[in-house]
Amino acid sequence: MITHEQRAALIKAAIEVRERAYAPYSNYQVGAALLMADGTMVTGVNVENSSYGLTICAERTAVTTAITAGHRKILAVAVATDNAGSPCGACRQVLTEFAGDVPVYLVDKVGNGRDTTLYTLLPDHFGPEHLT
């Protein structure tokens, strides 16, 4: 169960880290924050490239940072954008590798937006059980 304090802290972290997004081509800055099983928060931003297809989304930056730091289990996700936009399909799939049907908080730069869950965003996702 995520507390109100944890939810607020996660959203604040996503909004704050969004300032560091590198998005000179789209000008669509994204900040993501993950709450990990031990209570740690891990953040990420989108990092674009002049070879546009090499861009990495904020959510996947956060996931790779979390795994690099030794975390494996995501308890909640916050994503901050200009307009509380929804995560792309690739990021939804990558998040499911390390999260169950966790809360996902989608917010704009002042924290307005909506709460959803990962399985609402990506029902019937591909998982390791399909590889047997």
Tell me which residues are annotated as active site: 59
Distances (CA, A) of 116 to 77, 82, 103, 112: 10, 18, 6, 13
* Residue from 16, 19, 28, 40 in contact with ligand THU (CB under 6 A): 28
88 lines the binding site for ligand THU (CB under 6 A): yes
76 lines the binding site for ligand THU (CB under 6 A): no
Q: How far apart are CA 89 and CA 54, in angstroms?
A: 16
46 lines the binding site for ligand THU (CB under 6 A): yes
- Contact between 79 and 87 under an 8 Å Cβ cutoff? The reply is yes
Q: Three-class SS of residue 132?
A: coil
82 lines the binding site for ligand THU (CB under 6 A): no
Nearest to 23 by CA among 45, 42, 54, 53: 45
* Residue from 42, 91, 95, 122 in contact with ligand THU (CB under 6 A): 91
* Residue from 7, 9, 20, 23 in contact with ligand THU (CB under 6 A): 23
What's the distance, CA 76 to chain centroid? 9
Number of residues that bind ligand THU (CB under 6 A): 13
126 lines the binding site for ligand THU (CB under 6 A): no
Residues making contact with ligand THU (CB under 6 A): 23, 26, 28, 30, 46, 48, 55, 57-59, 87-88, 91
